[in-house]
Amino acid sequence: METADPRNSVPPGRVTPFYGFVAAVAVLALLVSAGPLIELPGRLAGLPVAFWTMAALAVVCDARPFVPPGRRQSSAVFPSTCFTFAILLGWGLGPAVAVQTVAVVVSGWRMGYAAWRSGFNAAQYACALAAAAAVTGLGPGGIFEGGHLGWSDVLAVGGAAAAWFVANYGLVSTAIRWRFGGRWWPGFRSGLGYELISTGSLLLLAPVLVTAARASAALIPLVLVPLFAVYRMAHLAAEQEQLGALDPLTGLPNRKALLAEVAEQVHLHAERAARGEPDAHLALLLIDLDRFKNVNDALGHAVGDRLLVEVSARLAGAVGERDLLARLGGDEFAIVSTGLTGVDAARETAERLVGALAEPVALDGLPLDVGGSIGIALYPEHGEDFATLMRHADVAMYDAKQRSDTVAVYAAESDHNSAERLGLLADLRRVLEAGPAGRDDGRGPAGRDDGRGPAGRDDGRGAAGVRGGDGAALPAALAPAVAGRGGAGRSTGGSARWGVRRNRERSGPAHPDELIQRIVTAADPIRRRAAATGAGLEQPGDTGPEQPAEPGGGGAAEADPGTGPGAGVAYAEPTGRRPGPDEPGNPGEITMYYQPQVAIATGEVVGVEALLRWRHPRRGMVDPEELIRVAEQSAVMRLLTRRVVDDVVEQLAKWSAAGISLRAALNVSVRDLHTGEIADQIADRLARFGVRPERLQLEITEGALMADPRRVLATISRLHSIGVAIALDDFGTGYSSMQHLRRLPLSEVKVDRSFVLGMADDADDAAIVRSMIELAGALGLRVVAEGVEDERTWRLLHAAGCDVAQGWFYARPMPAEELAAWLARYRPLRPAAREAESRPPRAR
């Protein structure tokens, strides 16, 4: 049915105003052209051959209008405009309107327009011709009646052409506004340039055509030569563009064609949504073959190319007739599935594609299994343009790969590169480049050594003294108490997680993430409003969970980390000016918290684990796991590692000056172990601050060890030769083997908290922990249990022979000065020899 064509339909709710406008234009066209049309029959006999030649060419040319490549049919160019405007200039309004109406009817029939659409087109052209005729009437008159053309004639022709264009384009733009709604000016402006070039060229060719007609009617068909040349050149360009939009290997459309198709379909589906139709969704499906690289590596690229051709043929057979299959490059394909009712319909398409790839592809008698991972992004839920849909489909595809699944629909929580994360990464870089507030470590603003020693030196904060890791001075009366406590001077173990370098304040250009900052500020209304008005951002309170009070062995409960000293302290901008805590430019504060590690048998504190904390001015305390996850994806991880190494080593020097001997371990990332730079950095910092190497310990995870064992082993060996101890973190959760435990220069293993937390109630967890303790003991390694939160777990670990424990049973993480106060009042807590309480749960 004709009404099934979306070009001929009107959205619900727009019918009355739209058809009212069409009727008004039709009435206006009749009013302005009725008189000339009534007079036309009496003039037909006197019209010259030139008129009839132009009229015939106008109708014939409009029977096949030219649609430029990449544009919709509504952008078609109608050559009749040139001829009818020439007829207007030569013989008046009546003949021009009559010929234009016939041409519109023929072109509308050829293009399948509804009657109302052809009627409106005829009316709009009549109004445009009437406007042009009115302008020519203001001229000297008789433009082409004889003699030479003067400047007044040329101005009249130019004014008539402008009047024709303004009337015609204005009526069409207003009709679109009444048909689909929305603002009038953006729609008017969007197509103005294209119409000026295409229609304007035809209008300005009309005076040349009339001038040729004055000499001889035989010259009129010659105008078809340049029109045909332009037409052929446009078609050749279209063919070249079509070839440029095809993948040369598979013959499928490429990324360029995919972009054009998505843009077109988004427009059509927006019209469907405006009409309230249920099939107003489209899906962009991104496919990545799972084992294609193995085929290329094992059998060569020639076989890989043949495999891609076969896969493309299978996928083409699985998509619908209205869908577009494109190859993006390599082993990536994309499908635009249109006319969907929702995500379930998109999943059905994806399942068909999965089924097409399920059977092995036989090449030269060898069956090749190439499954695929498919990501789905749906319009309009997941994006309203190609770039957004493509990125979200890519996120969903990698989500499917990570979950070892075949199909995944985009979900915001799986998008690790959102604007919010980009902003977080930019803020993290800024706080690292700014360096700790108020810190001058004797190297000056550029980080140079000015000859002042690390221990007991004037550090630029007033009188020399003992200070915590966040820069706060310890009370003068506290240092003797700490120095005189039992166990002082002992080499105590600890671990500083994610230790990294601090960059000194410096002057210079804006940091490389300034563009990201502008993007995020523009996308975030809070940032945008603050940047525009200069108003401060509110600093939210700590959003973390409420911390439980410590047991009696740990003394009085410590302050919550989110409310401890140093919260909300601002850091310097690269120019040296430090924004206040409520200023928009403030990236927050990074500091180190320390959690004690206690020998289970004696109750003595044998170390601390340093934990990274970042108080963001808008987000409060940032989750440490999210912080590391964001940093590891960029070069910011290198800055973060250097900052923590500097902070922890300097803190060790300060504790030494206060009479506290602690050992700290740093948990480093895979990137740090691969480069090997961290060994040189640690050696330099230990020498600079005068800290003995045995007081520092590095923690590595099993995953980092397995990523590249050769390079990791080389870095670890260098650190071991310096004298830095190595600990294996999260033991039991990765891929450790007896070979790694035997070959690595380890001094300690840390049993993961996932096993320790459940060992009091779960016999399996208790058995696993005991086995790991026995294994480490047999290899001569010290065992540290993480996540000890209750007395029963503490006693079970003692009975199993565990060496060291850490967790909230003893103390939570705290800033350096709070740790010093905690140490001053801490009294060793030894397990009582009560066998009944230490007995492990019965095995199932």
Query: Taken in order 375, 378, 381, 383, is the CA torsion positive or negative?
Result: positive
Tokens of 528: 């945008």
- Beta carbons of 718 and 676 less than 8 angstroms apart: yes
Alpha carbon distance 319, 497 (integer Å): 51
Displacement of CA 69 from its chain's centroid (Å) = 31
Tokens encoding 462: 């007033």
Which one is catalytic: 786, 817, 818, 837?
786
User: Which three-class secondary structure state does DSSP give residue 789?
Assistant: coil
- Cβ proximity of 795 and 831 under 8 Å: yes
Please name the residue ranges forming H helices in 632-762. Answer: 636-657, 670-675, 677-689, 702-707, 709-722, 738-743, 753-756
Q: Is the Cβ–Cβ distance between 718 and 731 less than 8 Å? A: no
| CA atoms of 832 and 601, how far apart (whole Å) | 10
Q: Tokens 């190439």 sit at which residue? A: 370
Residue pair 692/514 in contact by the 8 Å Cβ criterion: no
* Catalytic annotation present for 786: yes
Tokens 């070979």 -> residue: 739
Distance, C-alpha 62 to centroid of its chain: 47
The Cα 132–Cα 504 span in angstroms is 72
Q: Which two tokens stand for residue 16?
A: 């009355």
Would you call 27 exposed, middle or buried from its count of C-beta atoms within 10 A (0-12, 13-18, 19+)? exposed
With beta carbons less than 8 A apart as the criterion, state whether 349 and 337 touch.
yes
Which residue do the tokens 């059509």 mark?
A: 268
Helix (H, G, I), strand (E, B) or coil at 332: strand
166 Cβ neighbours under 8 A, 6+ residues apart: 131
Rounded distance between C-alpha atoms, residue 238 and residue 232, angstroms: 9
DSSP per position, 541-560: ---SPPPPPPPGGG-SPPPP
Catalytic residue set: 786
